[in-house]
Structures are given as C-alpha cells and as structure tokens.
A and B are shown apart, each in its own frame.
Chain A
Amino acid sequence: GENVEQHPSTLSVQEGDSAVIKCTYSDSASNYFPWYKQELGKGPQLIIDIRSNVGEKKDQRIAVTLNKTAKHFSLHITETQPEDSAVYFCAASFDNDMRFGAGTRLTVKP
C-alpha cells in the first residue's frame, strides 16, 4: 500500500520568510495530492491540492509542486504570517485510498 513520508516534523520561520514542506510517496499509481492545515482544536482543512496531470499549482501565497518521476511533492508558503502557524498534512491518494503524512508543525514568529 501507499506510504507517505513528510519532512520536517517541525519548522520555525520568521514572519515574512518562506516555508517549504516536503513529502514523498511510494505508490506510483497515486494521482491526487491534497494538503491540509490543522489549527488547534479544529479538524484538518484543505488548503490546496494537485492532481498528477499538473506539475504546479498556486493560490495566492501558497503553492504546491509535484514531481511524479521522483514521487515527491512540496508545499510552499511565501510571506508567512503568524496565522499560518498550524500543523500541515500532506496526503497521497489513488482510487479511494488516501494516506497521510505525519504532519509538520509550522511556527511563524512575529
């Protein structure tokens, strides 16, 4: 089955800097890659996703890149703000089987 690894587990950046979180997956059949943000006391919320027929997708300050050959994808947050502080999860999915990474705790220092 699919195995998703996520790095780093914790990330601390200064406000205004960029943050990058990376994930690798094992099943080359995976074709859907969502990213979720989980704030304290809340469930994960989708922030951006990408499908295997696209290499990059951007939505304002967040972007995701996908390298199918290397089986890795990354989340990029630019101009970070304190409200970006949360736990971020990547996931990889094929058919109805979605596997999640262990999460990255991002702290943005004002």
Chain B
Amino acid sequence: ETGVTQTPRHLVMGMTNKKSLKCEQHLGHNAMYWYKQSAKKPLELMFVYSLEERVENNSVPSRFSPECPNSSHLFLHLHTLQPEDSALYLCASSQDLIGGETQYFGPGTRLLVL
C-alpha cells in the first residue's frame, strides 16, 4: 500500500449524471495531483494542489471540477461527462511541490461513461 486511497474503485455513469471521486493520503504530504490514464497514452496531469491551493490546471474541460478541502483530501467532481472521458483516474501525492519529489499514487478509479 502506498498510503494513498481512492474511492470508488469502479464507477459507471451516464452522461447526465453527477458523481465525485475521492482521494485521501495518509502520508502527511502537502501536494496532491489528479491524473487521467488512457490506454496506450502517457499519464495526463489534470490538476495540482499545494497546501490546498490549486496551482495547475492543464486545460481540463470544465465538466471536471476539483476540490481540495484540506491537505489530506482531494475530490474530483464529474458532471455531464462524455464517453471519451472513460479512463482510469489516478490520484497522487508528494511531500511538497518542488522539483525532484517522488509522487505516490493511489490505485485509481476506473470510470466508464455510457
């Protein structure tokens, strides 16, 4: 176990649904990340939070909305998704947001949009 947990592990939703992904890290880290992992493509960084402040948003569509209520929890709120949003969504954390920090990943949420 890496100390990063994600729920749910699997999610099926329709295009009109609203759902949320949850991530929790038990490592005392200050930075948290959301990544999208699609088949045969590099991991795509979506959002970065440092000390609960969003520091990066990589041109992610507004149908994805992150929330970081404290340094241990990170949410990804989903609404009106498209089938091409089906992927594995990974959460990660690192001690701080500086160069050379190891990122620790959760197991991911496998999302299927119908």
Instruction: Kindly state whether residue A73 has any CB partner on chain B within 8 Å.
Output: no
B97 is contacted by which of A9, A32, A89, A96 (Cβ under 8 Å)?
A: A96
What class of interface size applies to chain A in its complex with B? 20 to 34
B31 → A minimal CB distance (Å): 8
Interface string of A29-49 (1 = CB under 8 A from B): 001101010000111111001
By a CB distance below 8 angstroms, the chain B residues around A32 are 99-101
A19 → B minimal CB distance (Å): 19
Q: Which of B63-71, B76-84, B103-111 contacts A (4 or more CB under 8 A)?
A: B103-111
By a CB distance below 8 angstroms, the chain B residues around A99 are 42
Q: In the bound complex, do residue A44 and residue B42 qualify as a contact, i.e. CB atoms below 8 Å apart? A: no
Instruction: Kindly state whether residue A25 has any CB partner on chain B within 8 Å.
Output: no
By a CB distance below 8 angstroms, the chain B residues around A59 are none
With A43-B2, A43-B90 in contact, do A102 and B100 touch (Cβ < 8 Å)?
Answer: no
Q: How far is the CA of A45 from the CA of B99 in the complex (A)?
A: 19
By a CB distance below 8 angstroms, the chain A residues around B40 are 9, 102-103
**B33, closest chain A residue (CB):** A98
Q: In the bound complex, do residue B2 and residue A34 qualify as a contact, i.e. CB atoms below 8 Å apart? A: no
A44 is contacted by which of B41, B90, B100 (Cβ under 8 Å)?
A: B90
Chain B 11-54 residues near chain A, CB threshold 8 A: 31, 40-43, 45, 48
B42 → A minimal CB distance (Å): 4
Instruction: Kindly state whether residue B4 has any CB partner on chain A within 8 Å.
Output: yes
Q: In the bound complex, do residue B100 and residue A31 qualify as a contact, i.e. CB atoms below 8 Å apart? A: yes
A81 → B minimal CB distance (Å): 22
A105 → B minimal CB distance (Å): 9
By a CB distance below 8 angstroms, the chain A residues around B102 are 34, 46, 49
Residue numbers of A with Cβ under 8 A of B are 4, 9, 31-32, 34, 36, 41-46, 49, 51, 89, 93-96, 98-103
Q: What are 6 A-B interface contacts by the 8 Å CB criterion?
A: A32-B100, A42-B107, A43-B92, A44-B90, A96-B56, A103-B40
